[in-house]
Amino acid sequence: MSYTDVAPTSAPAQGDERVAFRLNWVVSPEGDDLKAPISVAVIRHGPNLAIYKAISASPPAWDVIPSDLVNAQSKVLDAAGRSAAD
């Protein structure tokens, strides 16, 4: 398994810290040039990390991590962090 074309992307404005990137997962390293584009976002909420991945079903197009999913999960993690601090 290998990855190519790793590049930073803009991360969702959530959590305490965040990073986002995209890459190509080389599915068939035997020279078939079959790659699966993957988008990744990692967001820290206090001591918790949320990791989101979207794998494109139709290469070479990049898939997008749904913002409504990130927003909903971020609300839950932020609320849990506040409740643990109390």
Nearest to 64 by CA among 38, 84, 83, 31: 38
Q: Which two tokens stand for residue 27?
A: 């599915």
pTM value is 0.83
For residue 30, the model assigns a pLDDT of 73
- Which value, in Å, is the radius of gyration of the alpha carbons in the chain? 15
Domain boundaries, the chain: 2-85
For residue 22, the model assigns a pLDDT of 95
For residue 17, the model assigns a pLDDT of 96
65 or 86, higher pLDDT: 65
